């Protein structure tokens, strides 16, 4: 996690939790002129779904805090949403929650000549995930994963 992401997470975590939500993840992307800050929120209870009202409340509070603390240099756009069906996985706990599901991931550096993998998440071992893809088992350290998403089942 980048330093800016970590600082933003520290600022927003208590606010999001006070509003009855869970801070699932943060994605800060730099564009040509402006930055895009995506804040993903979820509910602790799997039976509760994130609604537009939740996103609005978190967006208002997050915007106020980010403006006061000035942690993002320059202009930025703030988006607050549910992680969705193809939810991104950021932390070890996220991977543990989705053992048995199909995921797609992109590594920071190539492994065996490739960076993109798709397969079944079969476990977590220490700080590594176990992925079975094309009848091969791979162990990837979480910090070596640039991006990972759950592959939705329909």
Q: Give Cα separations from 121 to 60, 74, 133, 138, 143 (angstroms).
A: 36, 39, 9, 10, 16
Same fold yes or no, 3-81 and 92-150: no
150: β partners: 103
Cα atoms in the Cβ-side hemisphere of radius 13 Å centred on 55:
14
Is residue 70 pLDDT above 70, yes or no?
A: yes
Residues 13-33 have pLDDT tens digits of 999 999 999 999 999 998 888
Whole-angstrom distance, CA of residue 125 vs CA of residue 136 = 16
- 3-81 CATH fold: GMP Synthetase; Chain A, domain 3 (3.30.300)
Q: What is the pLDDT of residues 95-141, one digit of tens each?
A: 999 999 999 999 999 999 999 999 999 999 999 999 999 999 999 99
Instruction: Give me the residue spans of the domains in the chain.
Output: 3-81, 92-150
How far apart CA 26 and CA 105 sit, in angstroms, is 17
CATH numeric code, 92-150: 2.30.30.100
Averaged confidence pLDDT in the chain: 93
Q: Could you tell me the two tokens for 44?
A: 């602790």
């Amino acid at each position: 996690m980048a330093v800016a992401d970590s600082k933003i997470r520290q600022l927003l975590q208590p606010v999001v939790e006070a509003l009855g939500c869970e801070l699932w993840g943060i994605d800060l992307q730099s564009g040509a002129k402006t930055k895009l800050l995506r804040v993903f929120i979820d509910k602790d209870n799997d039976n509760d779904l994130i609604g537009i009202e939740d996103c609005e409340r978190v967006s208002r509070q997050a915007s106020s805090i980010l403006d006061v603390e000035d942690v993002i240099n320059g202009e930025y756009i703030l988006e607050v949403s549910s992680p969705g069906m193809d939810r991104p996985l950021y932390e070890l706990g996220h991977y543990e929650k989705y053992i048995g599901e199909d995921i797609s991931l992109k590594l920071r550096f190539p492994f065996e000549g490739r960076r993109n993998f798709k397969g079944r998440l079969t476990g977590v071992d220490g700080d590594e995930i176990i992925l079975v893809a094309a009848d091969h088992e791979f162990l990837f350290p979480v910090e070596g994963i640039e991006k990972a998403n759950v592959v939705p089942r329909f």
